[in-house]
Amino acid sequence: MAISCISARAFKDELYQQFARIGKCLASEKRLELLSLLSQGPKSVEKLVESTNMSFANVSRHLQVLNDARLVKYSKKGTYVIYELADPSVSDFLLSFWRICENQLADVKRIKDEFLNHFDHLQTLTMDELLDKLESGTIVLLDVRPREEFEAGHIEGAISVPIDELDQHLQSLPRDIEIAAYCRGPYCVYAAQAAQRLRNEGFIAYRLEEGVHEWRQYNKQRH
């Protein structure tokens, strides 16, 4: 009995030490941001530096920690090192993690609400509302993420109009139909910025809070 108890204790200790590798890795706001960016598609170290305003050395150091925890993997393309999530299940984990944080930490919702309050009369569509409008052909859906993220995966029927190219497309967008914009999910600012810009130009425009991964989960639940 004593040997069995010791073996069970050793098993649990060793197991939870391995689980803690992921927990320790996530204890950094910078690494969480990198994971969020990589959930949108593979990116070079240089692109991650540009997106996060971190130094090349800091990004590389954080990526090494994520790689050691087997949350990301990398490959080489010419002179570039390209990182991506190690497995699609990491995206599912991140979605659950964001939801837990927003449900349990009141500051998350407060910070999000304070940001959205800066936009005048911003309207947000639910996924049910968007689906109805898409099926009836009464709305155009814009993906305002960088084009490489759109190419890595997007909501079916969406048009790629990166936020920094939006002004160039204003003249070609239809004015007799509603427009919705989405980006990387609930904590991305691009969709709100795009919807506000479109409204200022006289379009009937909405923000979709969810991104590609939330949309995929939504469709799985529907079916």
**Active centre residues (catalytic):** 183
Q: 69, 22 in Cβ contact below 8 A?
A: yes
Question: How far is it between the farthest Cα atoms of the chain?
Answer: 78
The Cα–Cα gap between 221 and 183 comes to: 21
The Cα–Cα gap between 39 and 41 comes to: 6
72: phi then psi, degrees, rounded to nearest 5:
-130, 165
Q: 84, 73 in Cβ contact below 8 A?
A: yes
The Cα–Cα gap between 73 and 87 comes to: 9
**Which residue blocks in 139-181 are alpha helix, DSSP H?**
147-152, 166-169
Q: Give the count of beta carbons closer than 10 Å to the beta carbon of residue 11.
A: 10
How is residue 24 written in tokens?
């320790």
For residue 78, give the DSSP letter: T
The Cα–Cα gap between 210 and 130 comes to: 11
Sign of the CA dihedral with 171 first, then 177, 178, and 180 last:
negative
Q: Give the count of beta carbons closer than 10 Å to the beta carbon of residue 148.
A: 15
